[in-house]
Amino acid sequence: MKVFIEPIGRLINEFTKLPGVGAKTAQRYAYKVVNMTEEEAKNFAESILDAKRKVHYCKICGNFSEGEICEICKNRTAETICVVKEPKDCVAIEKLAEFNGVYHVLHGTISPLNGVGPSDIRIRELLERIKAGGVKEIILATNPDVEGEATAMYISGLIKPLGIKVTRLASGISIGTDLEYADEVTLARAFVDRKPM
């Protein structure tokens, strides 16, 4: 005797494919779906198909886009390009509403251990954008981890000779935290990068 009837078992299995979802959580989600109205379930299913069907990558920056060129590339000047690892990083920065330049999504970072070299991520496309002219600053906003730092160093080495300003997001102690709880590497970095006031 199987524990779940087939349609529920199948749905649970689908939910476990989502990141961080185990059997118990998937089960809760599946029960929720069974208890939805027909209309709600239809909307849910359609939104999944839609996200897959309608979401493409912008030909210029590599960010999510409904059309060939994303709204950001269409509406902003490309004087400052913020280089990020993944499309979701653009979302995090857009939420600030502080940056009004454009993005360049690398779709990965250099990681020799995982077999990802400079030619596997969108560095060539970045250089082409720069060569097309008009770019004044490149902000390297890859994550402050080993791969992100290595990628930033690598790109910086390629772009600086072109005479373009290259900056990197500041690392240091998070605002609002206690010095006591800052990790050692971050605290050490905050010392090295201390600034006059």
CB of residue 116 to its own copies, shortest distance in Å: 16
CB of residue 65 to its own copies, shortest distance in Å: 7
Strand order in the sheet with 80-84: 102-105, 80-84, 137-140, 165-168
For every residue of 152-180, DSSP letters joined together read HHHHHHHHGGGT-EEEE---SPPTT--GG
CB of residue 112 to its own copies, shortest distance in Å: 23
By CB under 8 A, residue 88 contacts its own copies: yes
CB of residue 107 to its own copies, shortest distance in Å: 11
User: What's the rounded Cα separation, in Å, for the pair 59 and 65?
Assistant: 9
User: What's the rounded Cα separation, in Å, for the pair 112 and 25?
Assistant: 35
By CB under 8 A, residue 60 contacts its own copies: no
Handedness of CA 88, 187, 114, 148 (dihedral sign): positive
Task: Identify the residue among 61, 78, 87, 123 touching its own copies (CB under 8 A).
Answer: 87
By CB under 8 A, residue 177 contacts its own copies: no
By CB under 8 A, residue 6 contacts its own copies: yes
CB-nearer residue toward its own copies: 64 or 172: 64
Are 53 and 110 a contacting pair, CB within 8 Å? no
User: What's the rounded Cα separation, in Å, for the pair 99 and 77?
Assistant: 12
Of residues 25-54, those binding its own copies (CB under 8 A)? 25, 27-34, 36, 38, 40-54
User: What's the rounded Cα separation, in Å, for the pair 114 and 94?
Assistant: 30
By CB under 8 A, residue 102 contacts its own copies: no
Q: Which residues bind its own copies (CB under 8 A)?
A: 1, 3-8, 10-11, 13-14, 17-20, 25, 27-34, 36, 38, 40-55, 64-66, 70-72, 75, 87-88, 91, 94-95, 97
